[in-house]
Structure 1
Amino acid sequence: MIRRAAASKIGTWTLTDAPADQPVMKGFAEVIEPEFLRSELVPIFVTLAHDEQDSVRVLAAESAVTVVKQMTQAENESLMMQTLQQFWRDKSWRVRYIAADKFVELQA
């Protein structure tokens, strides 16, 4: 239950410090420091992406876009590529479906 909540909140939208009349929605991974993202959040994300429950892996796959967009191409290749490839080879059809659905967004 906790792992599912954690996996779903990585890409969840939250309000940022914007004027009250113009709230800006950003993902959790978008509002944290880049160093923290690489050193703390990515290892947690990878752990969730390899969880035994497919529901946790599905939520991690949905959150992958937010994490990937915050890093450079080189960082994605070194830190995220193996995990992203694992989504497409997952034994659960739901994880593979979400990975295929998010494929175009992950390439951008």
Structure 2
Amino acid sequence: MDPWQHFARPAPAQLPAVSYLEKDPEMTASFNALKGALTSAPCLGLPDYHLPFHLYVTENGTTCTGVLAQEHGSGYRPVAFYSKVLPVVVQGMPACLRAVAACSIMIRDCEKITCRNSP
């Protein structure tokens, strides 16, 4: 399930029914929660080429997303966010092969920042 789906669910429920949106308390609360989540996201840090990079990848069947991060204090700080539409051939693959293909796509994109760096 897409992590933002529960924030955006009230609005699309009204779209087919009316030609305009009527603001109700549920939609207002959902919008404010989504706005708060988007504005409180961590800032991207500058890459430190003396530290190892960590790549986190996920795919949902049609798209793949990745976060390139580095250790920062007691946690990880994002250095880059990536999102791509999977090729049609990859979309038809079993889930295990889709995951491998998504990782491959994200690794190719991350090489622009990591410069194939391995400390």
TM category, shorter: under 0.3
**Which has the larger strand fraction?**
2
Give the greater-gyration-radius structure (CA): 2
Where relative contact order (Cα < 8 A, 6+ residues apart) is larger, the structure is: 1
In the superposition, the TM-score normalised over structure 2's length comes to 0.23
In the superposition, the TM-score normalised over structure 1's length comes to 0.25
